[in-house]
């Protein structure tokens, strides 16, 4: 929660810097373009690869937990494809790309800005922050109606860190491991899926 406030604060202060008019109009984000994206991708990869927990959890033998991130991917993409029906301004590809952030707003918004457009990048930022905040608030209710996987499903990629405490509180400690596993798999998938959806 604290880190999402910091990320959001940087974004908002950028907006005010832009609105202040002290900067030239038509500031072109894309000029910083692909090199910045490559750097970010590389750092994100190193961060995933150097995390001891990710390899440990991925090597766990319980085959059942593999289905958890799979259902979250299917459910998220189905939901974000269907919602396109009430969002005429966006294409299915665009809503699915935003959904494929799985709550990992920082990286997905920057990717989408670079690969697609600024306005969709802002949609992705707000949408994925909202997914994290909604998970923090709604997990107790979701778990009581939809079972112990509900908080993990709602949290998406955030279930490995920011929403983990609330999940293990309401689903039980034994689900904390499932949450970490699912969060790691989805975190790794975000850059691949977003790129795939927007460019294929």
Partner 1 sequence: MIAILLVLTAGILVGFLLVGRPAWHRFNNHSLNLAIYGMLFLLGISVGTNREVIGNLGTIGYEAIAIAIASIAGSVLISSILFKFLFKKHAK
Q: How far is the CB of 177 from partner 1 (least distance, A)?
A: 13
Closer by beta carbon to partner 1, 80 or else 169: 80
Phi, psi angle pair for 149, to nearest 5°: -90, -10
**What is the C-alpha to C-alpha distance for residues 117 and 122, in angstroms, rounded to an integer?**
9
Q: Measured from the CB atom, is 60 or 71 closer to partner 1?
A: 71
Shortest approach of partner 1 to residue 40 CB, angstroms?
5
Least separation, in Å, of the C-beta of 28 and partner 1? 7
Tell me whether residue 11 or residue 170 sits nearer to partner 1 (CB atom).
Answer: 11
Question: Which is nearer to partner 1, 127 or 162 (by Cβ)?
Answer: 127
For partner 1, the closer CB: 18 or 169: 18
Closest approach of Cβ 164 to partner 1, in Å? 16
Q: Dump the DSSP string for the chain.
A: -HHHHHHHHHHHHHHHHHHTT-SPTT--GGGSHHHHHHHHHHHHHHHHHT-HHHHHHHT---GGGGHHHHHHHHHHHHHHHHGGGG-TTS-HHHHHHHHTTTT-HHHHHHHHHHHT-HHHHHHHHHHHHHHHHHHHHHHHHHHHHH-TTHHHHHHGGGGGTTTHHHHHHHH-THHHHHHHHHHHHHHHHHHHHHHHHHH-
Min CB(176)–partner 1 separation in Å? 14
Residue 97, both tokens: 């790309």
Other Cβ atoms less than 10 A from the Cβ of 78: the count is: 12
Shortest reach from residue 165's CB to partner 1, in Å: 18
Nearer to partner 1, 152 or 165 (CB): 152
């Amino acid at each position: 929660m604290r880190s999402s406030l910091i990320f959001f604060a940087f974004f908002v202060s950028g907006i005010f810097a832009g609105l202040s008019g002290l900067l030239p109009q038509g500031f072109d984000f894309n000029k910083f373009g692909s090199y910045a994206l490559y750097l970010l991708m590389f750092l994100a990869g190193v961060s995933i690869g150097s995390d001891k927990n990710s390899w440990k959890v991925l090597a766990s033998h319980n085959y059942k937990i593999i289905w958890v991130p799979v259902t979250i991917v299917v459910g998220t993409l189905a939901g974000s494809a269907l919602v396109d029906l009430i969002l005429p301004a966006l294409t299915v590809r665009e809503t699915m790309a935003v959904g494929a952030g799985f709550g990992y707003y920082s990286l997905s918004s920057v990717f989408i800005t670079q690969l697609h457009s600024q306005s969709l990048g802002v949609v992705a930022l707000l949408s994925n922050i909202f997914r994290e905040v909604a998970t923090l608030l709604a997990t107790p209710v979701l778990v009581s109606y939809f079972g112990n996987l509900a908080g993990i499903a709602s949290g998406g990629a955030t279930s490995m860190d920011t929403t983990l405490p609330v999940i293990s509180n309401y689903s039980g400690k034994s689900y904390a491991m499932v949450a970490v596993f699912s969060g790691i798999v989805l975190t790794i998938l975000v850059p691949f899926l977003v790129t795939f959806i927007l460019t294929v």
